[in-house]
Amino acid sequence: MNSSFTKILRILLALGLLFFGLNKFIEFSFMTMPQLPENAADFMSSLQATGYVLPIVGALEIIIGLLLLFNKAVPFALLLLAPISVNILLFHVFLDLPGIGGALVIAIINVVLIYKHWKVYRPLFH
């Protein structure tokens, strides 16, 4: 479970989650936001207008990123990340297909790490 490959994937995923989670609270000036298609921009505006959805997702991304970075409760963190990564992927499939690259990376790394920790999840299916 703790091969070099798994460590690298876990740390890359953690750093990505920390960066994008913090970006929901602090606008990083060096990163320009890509121009989203109209439907995607409307959807993101709606989420932002609620006042709670994006901050909760950002806080979860930060917490999950810290858990992964410090190698604490990794199977739990990956399980928390699963619905977030599916939603990121679906957002890009239905609203912003050209921007799907990052979503695919997050989803694939999450699936690979879940597979690497499958022994922990096996009792959930019995």
What is the predicted pLDDT for the residue at 91? 96
pLDDT 10s digits, 66-113: 999 999 999 999 999 999 999 999 999 999 999 999 999 999 999 999
pLDDT 10s digits, 19-76: 999 988 988 767 677 788 999 999 999 999 999 999 999 999 999 999 999 999 999 9
What is the predicted pLDDT for the residue at 2? 67
- Counting the structural domains of the chain, the total is 1
Q: State which residues form the domain around 81.
A: 4-27+36-125
Q: How much is the pTM?
A: 0.91
Q: Is 78 exposed, middle or buried (0-12, 13-18, 19+ CB in 10 A)?
A: buried
Q: Which two tokens stand for residue 105?
A: 């990376």
